[in-house]
Amino acid sequence: MTLNISSKIKLAVKGEGRESTLIRIGDAVIGGGKVAVIAGPCTVESREQMIEAASAVKAAGASMLRGGAFKPRTLPYSFQGLGLEGLKILAEAREETGLPVVTEVMAPEEVAVVEEYADVLQIGARNAQNYPLLKRVGKAQKPVLLKRGLASTIEEWLSAAEYILHGGNADVVLCERGIRGYGRLTRFTLDLAAVPIVKEVSHLPVVVDPSHSTGVRSLVKPMSKAAVAAGADGLIVEVHPHPDEALCDGAQSLRPRDFETLMDELGPVARSVGRGL
**Minimal distance, residue 67 CB to a copy of itself, in Å:** 18
Angle of helix 256-272 relative to helix 217-230, nearest 10 degrees? Answer: 20
Range 144-163, binding a copy of itself (CB under 8 A): 149-151, 153-156, 159, 162-163
**Minimal distance, residue 44 CB to a copy of itself, in Å:** 17
Range 107-136, binding a copy of itself (CB under 8 A): 107-110, 126-127, 129-133, 135
Query: Which residue from 84, 189, 242, 261 is in contact with a copy of itself, where contact means CB under 8 A?
Result: 189
Query: Which residue from 24, 73, 139, 257 is in contact with a copy of itself, where contact means CB under 8 A?
Result: 73
**Minimal distance, residue 48 CB to a copy of itself, in Å:** 27
Query: Which residue from 145, 223, 239, 277 is in contact with a copy of itself, where contact means CB under 8 A?
Result: 223
Return the percent helix, strand and coil in the chain, to nearest 5. Answer: 40, 20, 40
d(CA 196, CA 189): 17
SS3 at position 41: coil
User: Rule CB under 8 A: is residue 8 a binding residue for a copy of itself?
Assistant: yes
Residues in the chain: 277
Q: Which is nearer to a copy of itself, 17 or 185 (CB)?
A: 185
Whether 204 contacts 171, CB under 8 Å: no
User: Rule CB under 8 A: is residue 72 a binding residue for a copy of itself?
Assistant: yes
User: Rule CB under 8 A: is residue 261 a binding residue for a copy of itself?
Assistant: no
Q: In sequence order, what E strands does the chain have? A: 23-25, 28-30, 36-40, 64-66, 101-104, 120-123, 144-147, 172-176, 206-208, 234-238
Relative to beta strand 28-30, strand 23-25 is antiparallel
**Minimal distance, residue 100 CB to a copy of itself, in Å:** 25
Whether 118 contacts 86, CB under 8 Å: no
Q: Which is nearer to a copy of itself, 94 or 162 (CB)?
A: 162
